[in-house]
Amino acid sequence: MVEQDLEAWLEQGYVPSFRTACLILGNRADAEEAVQEAFLRAWRFRGSLASVSSIQPWLYRVVVNACYSKLRQEIPHRDHRADDGPLAHIPGRGSDPDTMAQHSQVAETVLHALQQLPVSLRVPVVLRYYADLSERDIALAIGRRPGTVKSRLHEARRRLGEDPSIAALADEATLDQTEEA
């Protein structure tokens, strides 16, 4: 049963895992490699799932660990001039072109601000708001206590709130709401 659940998640989970890896690593090629490595590890160690209460946080932990490995080993030694940019080709949840075009500027601004966060704050934000994990599941996924996750999310929200480009978006949204009323 666990093996069937894992296989189904691997089939359905590639796009969310890839999106998560893109947001953590900021590069499509690195994200593809990290997710492929994570899925291979997940399949190789599927026997350890018997001791896991929930598959999703365990699998995200494997993805996050693959991203951490990428950040530690390969990315610092690479010449970033040839990168496709941290925001290029990150898959969204919806595929409606009108919706994507309408939200692209906001998304680009938020993703740029997200990339400015330290990895220790970026990972919980990505898992909470892009992968939709609970704080408890994030704690399992990153191997930290729930209180640590809560404080990291709080600090990340504070820093994102202080980002001038995010503040400009908030001001713009407030102005739009005032005009509609």
Task: Tell me the pTM.
Answer: 0.77
Residues in contact with 133: Cβ distance below 8 Å, sequence separation at least 6, in sequence order: 56, 57, 60, 127, 141
Measured CA to CA, the distance from residue 170 to residue 87 in angstroms comes to 21
Residue 88, classified by CB atoms within 10 Å of its CB into exposed (0-12), middle (13-18) or buried (19+), is exposed
pLDDT digits (tens, 9 = 90+) for 87-112: 444 545 555 566 555 567 888 888 99
Count CB atoms within 10 A of the CB of residue 7.
12
Q: What secondary structure letter does DSSP report for 81?
A: G
Note whether 20 and 126 are within 8 A (CB).
yes
Measured CA to CA, the distance from residue 3 to residue 53 in angstroms comes to 14
pLDDT digits (tens, 9 = 90+) for 14-65: 899 999 999 999 999 999 999 999 999 988 887 777 666 777 888 899 999 9
